[in-house]
Structure 1
């Protein structure tokens, strides 16, 4: 609940306000007392929001100043040896169970939460339903210890979403406040509090939603914050979880310098990036299994860095190249190491998407080493025309072994698309875009540029 205080002369008062859909609750009185509380119900959430803004402005006009709540929750005792065992294998339950026994002996509610959630993993039917209720009740009862007042106040909106697993936060999503939400903290403050909280010490998955909706959607500062905190159990990272173009154009987003991530998270298993302005640096992620970059204009240095990366365990790669108009610099030559499967012995799923050179790509693929070893090929969002499709059909044997082939949102005619549908077992034709380029004009556009 946002809190305002006024300390002037003999005045030593507080005022708090919170909004839940169409209901406003205010509390006020002298600092140090419980004060009085009032609840107002409005006809709509829009009316309650208007009243909320008006009352806040009135209080600030009278000299009340907003104060940020402090997390006064007790800090849990630590056992470095047991924590190290979990960090060595955060996906395995055994370490949590031993740690949970110790935490219960210390009176920490996380111990009981570990036991309940572990039992829930094994339960079914009515037993599972009962355990879910117990877990929810424990989380609510010990919210101040398990999450703390500032972070707890952000739950329920777009600002913060968490998933609990065996007593700790396994995954979290952090974003700017959504429309109509009270932006009590900026995204960097929320992220810093989360990463510093004891309940996030074994955080395995982190997603960053919109960083800014008033100007450039930039992630550079947040990347610095993540790498500085360096959560040791982190295995999955998604930077840029926003809906384009509804929330932000993909090329209006700046991912920034990604190189520090590789040193900070050598155990990373999945890296998903969405946006432009990506500075890749020298990619060295020996444990990575999945890499996805969605861009409207991936620069040539970035493409070359991806092609030269060290990720011997990579199983899935998906690259959106984008439009030259928005900075794309990829071409057949720059991805030759990928086509040769250089350093990609485990690759089974390959996406070469949103490319201006899809026709050239399908001409090169039949002779490539990478096509022989993959099971899934994604060429969606690109510039594949009937001319390129004819090359694929002429080399049908090279594609026959694929279990999945995605050709959605290219530039195919209905007749040719129907022929391609028989190329292998799982062809996705989906929606095709209209090829409105003039005859002889090679300037065709990808599905996602801006």
Structure 2
């Protein structure tokens, strides 16, 4: 077998099985035997991974030597990568000697993406310098078909995000993040085009800091895709009770849900508590949602939140009654960790010229109940003798 054909066969096995240390070991050994320093990187990272898993034992000197050599080889790889693909500032994470997470200039990926994914089992792709004019060529890029997680942050996509969502190359996508992309209401409405037929594997959607509003949220909620999500992040989106209720009502298998910094209040909490589609929910973030003590009481009585393990209710205007209801809940039997944030009486907040919205209002009775129930799993700060103290 010709060397090029043999390398291609071994690489194809790695691309198909990137977490298989055996496949990576065979490929790395072949590269090392043929004078390619990438082979040594594979060998070193496989050995370090085995040590971390407890499969092999390394003394301190051996580990230090391997890590020092690994650092040098990674620097060489970065230099060669940037030169080959005419880009700068590329960042990545390698595992078992292969690039698995890549952060790269969008223009470089559009131009060289196919060549990159033909050599590296890229799982997570983060793009920067993405303009709206680049959305169409990006959507046409066949290299996207190899990506499992696509991360776009702080790009002014607005309504033109629809161009990307129409890409025929998102079939493998499991996670999509559009953070602070200035979607607004127009872009938010385009999210309704997220279609389970074209995104059959999508399980995680993060669209925080986009100010989409209730109408766009309601439009998104009508997409059948929400029923397949296991994680949803809609933090800081100018959502009120109507938008939150619509989104939550469309979820059927969600395990992690971030609704933070949306001011929806008690009635939406009642809708959340009543939704049977939250029976698998393990993490709920309500920081800065102003749900109040009555809202928390609805959640505490819910028969649908028995799987909940983590809850963030910082800055939610929760009083003693709400704190006691949370602590005494027989329904939340799996709840282990509660982030309650800073809490003080209204009188103490006013005396200290603190903004009420940034705090809970539970006093000694509520705090004592929370401490008794959650012990080390409770995170809060109290205002004592003019100072904030961690608890």
TM range (shorter): 0.5 to 0.7
Q: Give the Cα separation in 2 of the matches to 1:143 and 1:393.
A: 51
In 1, Cα distance between equivalents of 2:361 and 2:9? 63
Q: Where is the strand percentage greater, Structure 1 or Structure 2?
A: 1
Aligned to 2:263: none
Per-residue deviation, residues 102-154 of structure 1 (Å, max 9, x unmatched): 4456654433332232233335322122222333444455666x414276872
1:42-441 to 2 correspondence within 5 Å? Answer: 81-104=9-32, 108-123=36-51, 124=58, 125-140=60-75, 146-149=80-83, 154=88, 159-174=89-104, 187-192=105-110, 195-198=113-116, 201-208=120-127, 211=129, 221=134, 225=138, 228-240=141-153, 254=158, 257=161, 260=165, 264-275=169-180, 276-277=182-183, 278=188, 279-281=190-192, 282=194, 284=196, 287=201, 290-295=204-209, 297-300=211-214, 301-302=216-217, 305=220, 308-310=224-226, 312=228, 314=230, 316-323=231-238, 330-338=243-251, 339=272, 346-355=280-289, 361-380=295-314, 383-386=316-319, 389=322, 392-393=325-326, 396-399=329-332, 401-408=334-341, 410-413=358-361, 415=363, 418=367, 421-422=370-371, 424-425=374-375, 426-430=377-381
Give the aligned length.
321
Contact 2:317 2:361 in 1 (8 A): no
**2 CA distance for matches of 1:137 and 1:295?**
38
Query: Kindly tell me: are residues 161 and 311 of structure 1, through their superposed partners in 2, closer, same or farther at Cα, counting changes over 3 Å?
Result: farther
1:333 Cα offset (Å): 4.8
Give how far 1:264 is off.
3.5
Q: Distance in 2 between matches of 1:85 and 1:127?
A: 30
2: CA distance, partners of 1:354 / 1:219: 32
Higher radius of gyration, 1 or 2 = 1
1:160–1:420 CA distance, 2 compared to 1 (3 A)? farther
- Give the structure with the larger helix fraction: 2
Gaps of 5+ in 2: 52-57, 252-271, 343-357, 384-391
Alignment check: 8 A CA contact 2:92 2:103 kept: yes
- Tell me if the contact between 2:125 and 2:149 (Cα under 8 Å) persists in the aligned partners: yes
Tell me, yes or no, if the aligned pair for 2:284 and 2:311 is still in contact at 8 Å. yes
How far 1:354 sits from its partner (Å)? Answer: 4.5
The question of whether the paired residues in 2 share the 8 Å contact of 1:196 and 1:229 is answered with yes
Q: Structure 1 length as normaliser, TM-score? A: 0.55
In 1: Cα distance, 2:218 partner to 2:287 partner: 13
> Any stretches of 5+ residues in structure 1 without a counterpart?
1-75, 175-186, 213-217, 243-247, 433-450
Shift of 1:402: 0.7
SS of the residue aligned with 1:115? helix
1:17-56 to structure 2, matched below 5 A, reads: none
How many Å separate the matches in 1 of 2:30 and 2:287?
A: 50
Q: Distance in 2 between matches of 1:411 and 1:142?
A: 49
Secondary structure in structure 1 of the residue aligned to 2:121? coil
How much is the aligned-residue C-alpha RMSD, in angstroms? 4.5
